Structure 1
Amino acid sequence: MPETDAALVLRRSVRDWLRAYSAPDAEVAVALSGGADSLALTAAAVAEAGAVHALVVDHQLQAGSGRIAEAAAQAALELGCASATVLPVEVTGPGGMEAAARAARYAALDGARAGREVLLAHTLDDQAETVLLGLARGSGPRSLRGMAPHSPPWGRPLLAVRRTDTVRLCADLNLRPHVDPHNSAPEFTRVRLRHEVLPLLEDVLGGGVAAALARTAAQLREDTAVLDALAAELLTTARTPGTGPHPDLEVPPLAAAPAALRRRAIRSWLLEAGARAPGDTTLRAVETLVVRWRGQGAVAVGGGTPARRLVVAREHGRLTLRLRGRADGP
């Protein structure tokens, strides 16, 4: 590795991540797309980790994708990776192409990592885009906290690194990154954020917007961790033992708690029972059974089976979570 400014930035970031979340000589996997970010991460990881195994996901969404994936795998070996594996996937499923591709990618990486941590090349710029998307959804601090540097088995050593540094390192190493045409397709919201919204914000607000958004995400992750720990204590207090696989919750402890903790506890309770990730509307509807009880009926939450839906009701001072036939009504 040349001792250029970009190389020092990337190597320091990977080194700090390994010390904080793994070990300096750890054997890791790297998700390699062939783009500048993941190529730069691979090069820095080879210089800092014990051994690096490149995992190249071929989404098969464009002509010649297999050739591009093989080229990325070859570049990984030339950089010094211990191995490089191409993982073809089929992109299908709900939520649009972006969501389906993401789900297929993570499933393939998880299946091939062989127990190793997988390093992902998300940069500070990606973090800023994620925060803006969360702000647009209005889903609160859980969404605004962005991506974590470590959410096992996924590691993100570059969250403090600008995309310009990864491009510079590739130039320093005479690497030719693949430019994915999807990364400039305006039909994708994240692409428009990257090329239109963030540059406009930087211009209007005088620069530093991406870094400020990333700092905000880091602060919210710290705050959310504290609130989640307190909510877990509340959930433990409210649980009623011996009430089936999904224990009922006593209403009084929930009613006495601050709203932020109460909704977090309810959310965890629903997720444990297999409910789909509840949004703010669902959480507040369940919360009304606690704080504004007027004898109203059950609240349907996402989940259950085609024949039976998952519902929350208030019965004898408790919140109950049951499967109920869809024809039974509220």
Structure 2
Amino acid sequence: MLGDALAQAGYPAHVLVACSGGPDSMALAAVASYFARRGSIDSHPVTVGAVVVDHQLQEGSGRVAADTAGALRELGLAPVDVHTVTVAGAGMGPEAAAREARHAALEAAAADQGAGAILLGHTLDDQAEQVLLGLARGSGTRSLAGMRPTRAGAGSAVLLRPFLGLRRADTEEICEVEELDPWHDPTNTDPAFARSRTRVEVLPHLEEKLGPGVAESLARTASILQLDADYLEDVAESTYTSLVQWNGGEASLPEDALRDLAPAIRFRVIAKAAAGVGGQQPSYRRLVAAEALLRRQGSAGPVQLPGGVAAYRLSLAELEGPGTADRPGTGPREPARCGKLVFRPQKPATH
């Protein structure tokens, strides 16, 4: 489990446990502490530290973070850092903003400690909830693929989730055996949050009506879709790299080549072009609108994409200047062929 995860990361000499004080991350810390006491894993030297992130979103969060840090030190983890963050993500929900602040703190702690891997305590139940939420939101393959067991982080440390094969009941049992007193976050049962409703109401209801094994089936679906998503991502990335043309901070894609692509790849390539000029991942509806420019006559647009990006379709006539297609004549004018789909970052308004 943990040994396999660290093997995939190349056996980093120092790893960092991200611990909230809840049953899942405390169980992970207890397992990691075993290797910390031994000083090695699979004959590879290893030391184990920890970080507790205080989001300051609940009364008494500082005390919870301090108590958790003390428990981690008693387990033998060192060093143990407490990072206090301010959750203020503009343009995103509270859960997403907290996640962004937390990951920034984890990356900073990993850099401070020189950790090659960050251990996260997500379980199979978390994976099942992730897939269900993706289905409810009408998300694509990448979202339905759920959380990865191994993922590169923004810094040099890789993110590892060694407990994705364990149920939440397993982590609670580990805490009981190790005589740990984990903190139970009240927001995990707060119906104001979609994930909490999924955890407390939706998954138990599905298990009751469809029989046991629903969570395992959802997690298995995520594993299968990860393979599909990885393949599509690789094809889209190589296709985008071969097609994109740059003019300053503006990206363009040739229409003829885009038309020849399979839709699954075409939409991904368009999304990559938008991200390439500083945009955010477009919704499916926005991607459809941008892709529809390929079926317009002459120059068209703009289609506004998230992150301050506008997509245009420029005809060959506009790209090359006045020519046969634009020259007035006595007969009906042939519609100009489209040359490129162009993605432009929009300049902020000046006041």
Judge same fold: TM > 0.5, yes or no.
yes
Q: Secondary structure at the match of 2:251?
A: coil
State the partner residue of 1:152. 152
For residues 82 and 262 of structure 1, the distance between their equivalents in structure 2, rounded to whole angstroms, comes to 48
TM-score (norm 2): 0.83
Q: Is 2:344 the partner of 1:322?
A: yes
For residues 192 and 343 of structure 2, the distance between their equivalents in structure 1, rounded to whole angstroms, comes to 40
State the partner residue of 1:192. 197
Deviation, 1:119, is 1.0
Q: Is 2:253 the partner of 1:277?
A: no
Q: Is 2:74 the partner of 1:74?
A: no
Q: Secondary structure at the match of 1:28?
A: strand
Q: Which stretch of structure 1 is more off in the superposition, 260-269 or 293-302?
A: 293-302
Deviations 1:199-251 (A, max 9, x none): 111111111011111111111110111111111222133223x5334432111
Q: In structure 1, list runs of 5 or more residues that go unmatched.
A: 1-12, 305-309
Answer yes or no: is the 8 Å Cα contact 1:127–1:146 preserved in 2. Answer: yes
Q: Is 2:74 the partner of 1:52?
A: no
State the partner residue of 2:138. 138
Answer yes or no: is the 8 Å Cα contact 1:313–1:319 preserved in 2. Answer: yes
Aligned length: 307
State the partner residue of 1:255. 259
The amino acid of 1:67's aligned partner reads R
State the partner residue of 1:166. 171
Deviation, 1:314, is 1.2
Q: Which stretch of structure 1 is more off in the superposition, 161-170 or 145-154?
A: 145-154
Answer yes or no: is the 8 Å Cα contact 1:238–1:251 preserved in 2. Answer: no
Deviations 1:49-74 (A, max 9, x none): 51111100112222222221111111
State the partner residue of 2:328. none
The amino acid of 1:271's aligned partner reads A
Deviation, 1:274, is 0.6
For residues 244 and 88 of structure 1, the distance between their equivalents in structure 2, rounded to whole angstroms, comes to 40
Q: How does 1:297-312 map to 2 (within 5 A)?
A: 297-304=301-308, 310-312=309-311
For residues 214 and 129 of structure 1, the distance between their equivalents in structure 2, rounded to whole angstroms, comes to 9
Q: Which stretch of structure 1 is more off in the superposition, 164-173 or 317-326?
A: 317-326
For residues 47 and 246 of structure 1, the distance between their equivalents in structure 2, rounded to whole angstroms, comes to 53
For residues 90 and 239 of structure 1, the distance between their equivalents in structure 2, rounded to whole angstroms, comes to 38
Answer yes or no: is the 8 Å Cα contact 1:234–1:254 preserved in 2. Answer: no
Q: Superposition RMSD on alpha carbons, in Å?
A: 1.7
Which protein has the larger Cα radius of gyration, Structure 1 or Structure 2? 2
For residues 151 and 101 of structure 2, the distance between their equivalents in structure 1, rounded to whole angstroms, comes to 18
The amino acid of 2:13's aligned partner reads A
Deviation, 1:286, is 1.1
State the partner residue of 1:8. none
State the partner residue of 2:30. 43
Deviation, 1:324, is 4.9
Match among 13, 19, 26 for residue 7 of structure 2: 19
Q: How does 1:45-124 map to 2 (within 5 A)?
A: 45-48=32-35, 50-94=46-90, 95-114=92-111, 115-116=114-115, 117-124=117-124
**Change over 3 Å in CA distance of 1:139–1:90 after alignment to 2:** same
Answer yes or no: is the 8 Å Cα contact 2:55–2:98 preserved in 1. Answer: yes
Answer yes or no: is the 8 Å Cα contact 1:234–1:253 preserved in 2. Answer: no
For residues 8 and 283 of structure 2, the distance between their equivalents in structure 1, rounded to whole angstroms, comes to 33
Deviations 1:102-144 (A, max 9, x none): 2221121111112422111110000000011111110211110
Answer yes or no: is the 8 Å Cα contact 2:27–2:175 preserved in 1. Answer: yes
Answer yes or no: is the 8 Å Cα contact 2:52–2:81 preserved in 1. Answer: yes
Deviations 1:14-63 (A, max 9, x none): 1111112231x631111111111001111112223511111001122222
Answer yes or no: is the 8 Å Cα contact 1:127–1:147 preserved in 2. Answer: yes
For residues 89 and 266 of structure 2, the distance between their equivalents in structure 1, rounded to whole angstroms, comes to 33
Answer yes or no: is the 8 Å Cα contact 1:18–1:26 preserved in 2. Answer: no
Q: Which stretch of structure 1 is more off in the superposition, 281-290 or 92-101?
A: 92-101
Deviations 1:260-309 (A, max 9, x none): 0100111111111111211101111111122x2234322111223xxxxx
Q: Secondary structure at the match of 2:133?
A: helix
Percent identical across equivalent pairs?
Answer: 46
